[in-house]
Structure 1
Amino acid sequence: MADDGEEKPKNFHEMELDDRILKAIAKLGWQTPTLIQERAIPLLLEGKDVLVRARTGSGKTAAFAVPVIQKILNIKQTAQHQEIKALILAPSKELCHQICGVIKELTIKCSREVRCVDVAPQVELGVQKPLLVEKPDIVVGTPTRVLKHVKAGNLDLKKSMEILVIDEADLVFSFGYESEVKELMERLPTIYQAILASATLSEDVKSLKNLVLHNPVTLKLEEPEIAPASQLTHYHLMAEEMDKASILYSLLKLHLIRGKTIIFVNTVDKCYKIKLYLEQFGIPTCVLNSELPAKIRCHSVNQFNQGIYDIIVASDEKALEEPGNFEVKKSKRKKDKESGVSRGIDFQFVANVINFDFPLDVESYIHRAGRTARGNNQGSVLSFVSIKEKSLLEQVENNLKVGQEDASIFKSYHFKLEEVEAFRYRAKDAWRAVTRIAVREARLKEIKQEIFNCQKLKSYFEDNPTDLQVLRHDKALHTVKIQHHLSDVPEYIVPPTLKGVASLGRKNKRKRDHYRTSQGSTSRFQAKKSNPLLSMDFEGFNKKKKKN
């Protein structure tokens, strides 16, 4: 967008926002708007159609949520009837849940004036009908779900809707919503303000732009697709499957990886294999994949954000839809197309992303990396790379270093397996113990376990908060025989060059456990960590010892 010479507002209070919104923003701790918020909010308040393109983690949700709430408050001053004024579409249930959560946080001081309903959850339409009969100001949902309500007569958007928002617009068509969106457009008013928010400007976004927007302003921030090197560090480590498992175990037990961590794999079965494998060493993890019910996925993310557990093992199955030269076995299991892990979800204070399986395309790598180093926080990405995946690593690096002075994006993560031979011996036994049958049994057991998470028990747990431990998603599945001695790391198997670092890690672990017990959350503690991923460079440690 051309610069018109006008000074742009630098703070929220300079944007002519309602005091109730400003108080909510202050409560959230947002001191200054991000660049996309600074540019987009004034334009949207003027009533212009806007196409927002900004990288993941840049604050796009608030960039459209704040002006939507402000416009509704303005309308309320003269409105005589309660009506639905805004429709927000998103490609996944998790993202719908997250958007609704942000809106509720921003309307905490005006919750009676501005009401938001999320219709994405897969329940009977009749269950949600009473909520829509009350005509909430904002309706959030996936295109499929919203269209079903429109067809059922539960939702009449043609009479009153004034604002349409489509978030993660570049995924809407790729998630298979093209026909639903086009049919939905025919059931909307002829005149309304439209907003498209996207991480990329793909051909699908251009098609949506022509379908939805009228004379739009395009905000394309001149920024890299991922956080800069000063904020996000990329490591790679060449290793095959068994070595990956050994290294992962060593890193976690020696506390060389600190803070909240997301481990990405490419399949659902691998999710459970990693979880069962780490269980044997007393490392609790939570799994996240498209086979889990939407409520469970959202609940897991919320608990992770609250600091109840620190490690999530997530399957990025969307990367497998266009596998290129890789063959992907078709699964008979029922998967939820309205799910997404590497895109859209606002994981908070994630210090590290570990690619146990290297992503199959550049876009998937970018979006996985976007789960960390969000806002002004620091982050690291560690990618395990096998010989077969080396070409993918080169492809990603060539794409990321375009236009950058630094010729090398990925730093080599130094790890000498011979120094942790005792760890490797343990890892082999634990990895082989996780058979296909154990993985299948774990999946079935988890479904039974998650029955306790149904909404009907909500009131019971409100009255009995100590029983909430039942709802933890990182509990052991116990489909593999647990050898309790494996959870401890004897001093004699810790490499001499790492004893100082490992003991420091255990000391920090005790502090974190104490903090979790006393505060019920680790978010603030983890947010302050300055060096979440330590390179296991033994030569470096030896040099430091010699100097001392």
Structure 2
Amino acid sequence: MQFSDLGLSPEILAAVAAQGYTAPTPIQAQAIPVVLSGRDLMACAQTGTGKTAGFTLPILQRLSTGRRAGGPTRVRALILSPTRELAAQIEESVRSYGAGLPLKSMVIFGGVGMNPQVAALRRGVDILVATPGRLLDHAQQKTVDLSTVEILVLDEADRMLDMGFIHDIRRVLALLPKHRQNLLFSATFSDEIRALASGLLQDPDYVEVARRNSAAELVSQRVYAVDRERKRDLLVDLIRTHNWHQVLVFTRTKWGANALAEKLVKAGIEADAIHGNKSQNARTRALAGFKDGRLHVLVATDIAARGIDIDELPYVVNFELPSVAEDYVHRIGRTGRAGSTGEAISLVCVDEHKLMRDIERLLGRTIDRVVHPGYEPDPRIAAQPIEMRSGNARPGGGRSGAPGKPRGQAPRGRAPAPRAAAGTAPSRGGSRHR
């Protein structure tokens, strides 16, 4: 199948071709006809499957064919995203694919002043991409009118629930017309997602392009057994020995990300950390350096990494295993994309054996164990409880800045935005802030 077989306009096909694409991915091939038909859609797709184009392309098609010339420009499509950088990434796709169409789009999120966004909204917008919190700010101040929305998209719905946005989502839904098309995209179909869908979607079509919670088939996975206090040294040794470049490393906490990045820099490895406590400008610089190869290692927390989109990322390292097995799938799904192979490496100490068993149970397979010479685990070391500190917590109980919020309470972002002008989008990344 080719994109030209899907009923898209010449202008959209030209924009797709300009991006170097000719054949749709499975999620695009299945989702685009459903969206064009006007039906509600519940779609499950892992990261890196092209799901953004799966809804942006048919939305552009529907809105361009139904646009009334001469009338005021009003919000006709609303796309909700859990993070600022992911919202920016989506709007960037809308602008790229809609370059030849008379449609206006913009992105709004927290962490930047309201006035530029208000001015852009007043000029009119057809497609609005937003994070829930900032959208509600505008709604409260009556600077956005959602009464004309025809299409609603909830992207990464599972992450929005994880971040505690369910109440904000319900408040947004109350502001929308009753009759509209609803599209829900999620990496997993958990019971919570199905409950949300049942109250949102009307007789939806169901699309799932990967086995539930399956790991990318092109990703080679292995576990290095190592003592907890030797993980940093092992990572340095692995990077040097194998000459790894463009390595995305996951930690559980913001403090841990900072500490590991500092260790790598001291070892002569170009590295930086990305997490919610970093300013937006700092995150944008780190992502740009990582993408163009100036940074060899990017250390990230799970929330901060949401939205990082690099087609040929070769290595993902779980410096610490996630406390939720499904997050392992999200992590390693950032490599092995677009037909490229990738490697997922986990550094596992005695404390994490149960987490590893949970992951293998989810995957339905055992991951190969290896020991790097010189880093054999000491069998005398006993397991310790894994302390899930808040993002600002430091070892020994000290804290820097305001107390961290528990999972499920999304803070209201006040960091600088990727670009000062509303409606513009930088390179991709992730943040917990709205």
| TM-score over 0.5 for the pair | yes
In structure 2, how many angstroms separate the alpha carbons of the residues matched to 1:168 and 1:179?
16
Equivalent AA in structure 2 for residue 64 of structure 1: F
- Equivalent pair of 2:216/2:336 in contact (CA under 8 Å): no
Provide TM-score, normalisation by structure 2: 0.83
For the residue of structure 1 that corresponds to 2:334, the secondary structure is coil
Pick from 143, 146, 166 the counterpart of residue 154 of structure 1.
143
Alignment counterpart, residue 87 of structure 1, candidates 78, 95, 99: 78
Change (3 A) 1:214 1:276: same
Which is richer in helix? 1
Evaluate the alpha carbon distance shift between residue 440 and residue 182 of structure 1 in structure 2; reply closer, same or farther with a 3 A threshold: closer
CA contact (8 A) 2:84 2:131 kept: yes
**Count of matched residue positions in the alignment of Structure 1 and Structure 2:** 389
Instruction: Kindly provide the amino acid, as one letter, of the partner of residue 82 in structure 1.
Output: T
2:360 pairs, out of 397, 411, 426, with 397
1:302/1:207 Cα in 2 relative to 1: closer, same or farther (>3 Å)?
Answer: farther
Deviation at 1:131, TM superposition (A): 0.7
Alignment partner, residue 218 of structure 1? 206
Alpha-carbon distance, 1:204 to partner = 2.4
Give the structure 2 partner of residue 365 of structure 1.
328
Residue aligning to 2:412:
none
SS at match of 2:304: coil
Match of 2:12 in 1: 21
Measured in 2, the distance between the counterparts of 1:246 and 1:122 equals 37
Structure 2: gaps spanning 5 or more residues: 377-393, 401-414, 422-434
Pick from 125, 130, 134 the counterpart of residue 145 of structure 1: 134
Deviates more, 1:136-145 or 1:295-304: 295-304
Of 232, 238, 248 in structure 2, the residue corresponding to residue 245 of structure 1 is: 232
After superposition, residues 457-536 of structure 1 pair within 5 angstroms as none
Partner of 2:112: 123
Distance 1:418 1:196 in 2: 46
Distance of 1:453 and 1:80 partners within structure 2: 32
Equivalent residue number for residue 372 of structure 2: 415
Contact 1:239-1:386 within 8 A present in 2 as well: yes
1:480 aligns with none
Instruction: Kindly indicate whether residue 270 of structure 2 is the aligned counterpart of residue 281 of structure 1.
Output: no
Query: Residues of 1 paired with 2:334 and 2:153: CA distance?
Result: 23
Per the TM alignment, residue 297 of structure 1 is displaced from its structure 2 partner at its CA by 2.8
Unpaired stretches in structure 1, ≥5 consecutive residues: 1-9, 317-339, 402-406, 420-434, 442-450, 458-548
2:318 is aligned to 355
* Distance apart, 1:253 and its partner CA: 2.0
Report the CA distance between 1:211 and its aligned residue. Answer: 2.9
**Distance in 1 of aligned mates of 2:13 and 2:105:** 19
Following superposition, the deviation at residue 298 of structure 1 comes to 4.2
Structure 1 residue 418, shift from structure 2 partner: 7.1
**Using the alignment, how far apart are the partners of 1:278 and 1:284 within structure 2?**
7
What SS does structure 1 have at the residue aligned with 2:142?
coil
| d(CA) in 2 for partners of 1:392, 1:71 | 45
Tell me which of 361, 386, 391 is aligned to 2:349: 386
* Identity level (%): 28
1:88–1:165: 8 Å Cα contact kept in structure 2?
Answer: yes
Whether 1:58 and 2:71 are equivalent positions in the alignment is: no
Q: Indicate the residue corresponding to 2:409 in structure 1.
A: none
Report the alpha carbon displacement of residue 456 of structure 1 after superposing the two structures with TM: 7.3
CA distance in structure 1 between the partners assigned to 2:75 and 2:195 by the alignment: 27
Counterpart-to-counterpart distance in 2, 1:247 and 1:238: 10
The 3-state SS of whatever aligns with 1:373 is coil
- The structure having more radius of gyration, on CA atoms, is 1
> CA contact under 8 A between 2:81 and 2:154: conserved in structure 1?
yes
User: What is the DSSP-based 3-state SS (H/G/I as helix, E as strand, rest coil) of the residue aligned with 1:118?
Assistant: strand
Shift of 1:73: 1.2
Q: Deviations over 1:37-85 (max 9, x none)?
A: 0001011111111111122221111101111111121123656332221
1:42 alignment partner, SS class: helix
Change beyond 3 A, Cα 1:38–1:393: same
Q: State the TM-score, normalizing by the size of structure 1.
A: 0.66
Given that 1:235 and 1:383 are in contact with CA atoms closer than 8 Å, whether structure 2 keeps it comes out as: yes
Give distance in 2, aligned partners of 1:452 and 1:192. 34
Equivalent-residue separation in structure 1 for 2:418 and 2:13 (angstroms): 35
- Alignment partners' CA distance in 2, 1:23 and 1:290: 37
Matched, 1:291 2:277: yes
Q: Deviations over 1:391-439 (max 9, x none)?
A: 21112112202xxxxx53x1223411179xxxxxxxxxxxxxxx979x9
> What one-letter code is carried by the residue in structure 1 that aligns with 2:127?
I
**What is the identity, as a one-letter code, of the residue corresponding to 1:277?**
K
